[in-house]
Structure 1
């Protein structure tokens, strides 16, 4: 397997920051980087009885748009398809929602936003 690229290291750091942010708010992480043929879900969590599918996006600069700008309609469709695939593996489908953790900026302080129900 090839060594992780700098972009993959940054992505993993953003996901770790997001996971810590959610854990501090008593959201439990069920899975990280869950993959299927439809795509990948960065974090799958439980917020109480609600199953939460979390997309983590980060941008070091605004040169190519913000972290929010990177969640296109195509990306949203892939997230929904992957979530449906995950839900098909469960015996009972709980209440669900989609969240986004958006991180803009590389240097401190980073701007982190938690958008609930994407």
Structure 2
């Protein structure tokens, strides 16, 4: 898939993930937060908890599922990035959780899977 199509697919998947999270009652605080150590796709809050969300979107499963595309190393990096983001904030949270939203597109429709507490 050409790079432009992958970017469009990723943006579409991220928007679907944000819409889903908000429908679940979460408040999205920030999207695509970056620092020199990496990026967090979505930062949200659910009550007193901070939720760091990795969104992985695939156009099929020929290279594995979207969920399989999120490694343990990536999850550990997200945990570290959450600490970096928190260090820039004035407020605190009772807990921090790393979630994964995996989206796969088949014939124009998306299947969404939300894994809470992926670490």
- Please report the TM-score for the alignment, with normalisation by the length of structure 1: 0.89
Structure 1 residue ranges without an equivalent (≥5): none
Tell me, in whole angstroms, the C-alpha distance in 2 between the residues paired with 1:11 and 1:49: 29
Structure 2 residue ranges without an equivalent (≥5): none
Q: Which runs of structure 1 show a deviation greater than 3 angstroms over 4 or more consecutive aligned residues?
A: none
CA spacing shift, 1:65–1:77, aligned 2, 3 Å: same
Tell me, in whole angstroms, the C-alpha distance in 1 between the residues paired with 2:6 and 2:76: 23
What is the Cα-based RMSD across aligned positions, in Å? 1.5
Which has the larger displacement, 12-21 or 93-102?
Answer: 93-102
Report what 2:117 is aligned to.
Answer: 117
Report what 2:41 is aligned to.
Answer: 42
CA deviations on 1:49-77 (whole Å, 9 max, x unpaired) are 11100000111111110011111122122
- Please report the TM-score for the alignment, with normalisation by the length of structure 2: 0.88
* Count of matched residue positions in the alignment of Structure 1 and Structure 2: 115
